[in-house]
Amino acid sequence: MTEEEASIIDKNIAKKVSKYVRPAERKISSRQLKKIKNKKLKGTLDRIEKVSNEAAIKAARSEILLTEEPGYLEAEGIEKTFNITQKQLSENVDEDSTKKIFDLKLPTFGPYSLDYTRNGRHLVIGGRKGHVMSIDWMENKIKSEIHLKETVRDVKWLHNELFYAVAQKKYVFIYDHNGLEVHRLKKHIEVNKLDFLPYHFLLVSVGSAGWLKYQDTSTGKLVAELRTKLGGCDAIAQNPWNAIMHLGHYNGTVTLWSPNMSTPLVKMLTHKGPVKAVAVDHTGKYMATSGLDGQLKLWDIRTYKPLQQYYTRTPASSLSISQLGLLGVGWGPHVTIWKDAFLTKQQSPYMNHLQVGSQIQDIHFCPFDDVLGLGHSYGISSIIIPGSGEPNLDSLEANPYQSKKQRQEAEVHSLLDKIQPEMISLDSTFIGKVDGASKDLLDMERNEEQKAQRANEEKWVPKNKARGKNSSLKRYLRKKQKNVIDERKLKIQKRIKQEKEARRKRIMGNEDDKDRPKALERFSNKEL
């Protein structure tokens, strides 16, 4: 390798290092290191900074090993990519890619919703009229098939292909890969949409009652139960960057939720009518929303401002964003794919697909593959979208070709690395800060908070009820108030003590009353 080639490689690596270096506000500058007087602490922080920089350089260098590049459709001359049909693609691709284009016709139980596993290997479909099936679609093998004979609103895979959740007519049920019922979640009632946070092992549901619920699938506990106060909801999406849930409501707003807050973190007015679908890209920077007002809007989540706006002749029923940023829009019988839609205003779509005679219900891009799955009123379909999937996969993160042993070990490691729900926040890079206030200041603040809390408490006033052991007066006297001197309570106790003493004297008799004449003494014989 010549010096010029080496310098070119070093320049390319220097450009890529910025992706892996920590944000500037989290780094410790050399000037801050010099101000630290503790030599041991200074050396430790200096060593940590060096290790972090070396890790960023190694990560940038490892990109040289990623030899695969995404391939997009390229038109020649006056041709347009959106005019290319799936039939033309199947005639010009290899045999393995041709197998990825198929239609599964199930007109009896539709419309269908679907979901892919994280590695893109398995597919689960759920028909509105109760048909649920899990498939290894790469090998065209059916893993399980059940007929529930009741309404199915949504289906969702859990941490791997062994379990999936089904939102049925009243409750949410969890089934294993053989189609056997494992759990019934009674607290998730009339659920419309499901989602799963893989790094937190949280199953998220929202329904017609407007309650957002987080269920920990590793422990079985209900982590949070939040009332949105915005009515029913049937549009939900997670932000893969920070695990914040995005909900679309009937009043045209999109709210951002965390299980640690009872109120929405952010509330955005996105449409003039009900929100039909929400999607967030994998970088956590952009969001797409569609509403009944016929608008498709693209948003920058960092600033909460709109980027572009498109019009759909029929309100879009489903949205999906691929790993490489392609936006899929399902409206009526059509599916439209947009390329670089978040960067610039596009004049024409990247690809089009028409599902003749049916309505699109749900669409999902398959991870690590150039495939888009469609759920519609007559079954499901799979089409090829060149350039949608990530070509270089990380086998430690999601491996489509993993063995049984690898799957078991991956499950154990993911449980050990499980992130607690308390860590979910808008800024995923923020961990915490040390409170540098002195102990005296903290004690003074705590005392002021306690005084303000006591002042805000309403004073208890007893009600005048019938006398007895459970009278309001007795309850007032039994009330335990530590370190509180109540004058009214002392007066009542003194009066009760005096009444008891007078009653005792009346019964036992008093020595002072002996010299007093009795009422019938005048009729007695004084001589006797």
| 375 located within any domain | yes
- The verdict on 58 and 116 lying in the same domain is no
Q: Give the residue from 20, 38, 65 where a domain finishes.
A: 65
Taking only the tens place, the pLDDT of each residue in 29-51 is 777 777 888 888 888 888 888 88
Q: Across 281-347, where does the E strand assignment appear?
A: 286-291, 295-300, 305-311, 318-321, 327-331, 334-338
| 329 located within any domain | yes
Q: How far, in Å, CA of 226 to CA of 263, rounded?
A: 8
Q: For residue 314, what pLDDT is reported?
A: 92
| 287 located within any domain | yes
Q: For residue 208, what pLDDT is reported?
A: 92
Q: Give the residue from 384, 418, 440 where a domain finishes.
A: 384
Per-residue pLDDT averaged across 250-273, rounded?
A: 94
- Counted domains in the chain: 2
Higher pLDDT: 33 or 311? It is 311
| 93 located within any domain | yes
Domain interval for residue 140: 81-384
Q: For residue 502, what pLDDT is reported?
A: 87
- The verdict on 100 and 226 lying in the same domain is yes
| 88 located within any domain | yes
User: For the domain that residue 336 is a member of, what is the CATH number?
Assistant: 2.130.10.10
Q: Give the residue from 340, 357, 384 where a domain finishes.
A: 384
| 181 located within any domain | yes
Give every CB contact of residue 109 below 8 A, 6+ residues apart in sequence.
127, 128, 129, 130, 131
- The verdict on 26 and 92 lying in the same domain is no
- The verdict on 58 and 85 lying in the same domain is no
Going edge to edge, which strands form the sheet with 351-354?
318-321, 327-331, 334-338, 351-354
- The verdict on 48 and 151 lying in the same domain is no
- The verdict on 266 and 363 lying in the same domain is yes
377 pLDDT band, cuts 50/70/90, is: very high
- The verdict on 140 and 237 lying in the same domain is yes
Note the pTM of the prediction, 2 decimals.
Answer: 0.76
Q: How far, in Å, CA of 65 to CA of 371, rounded?
A: 25
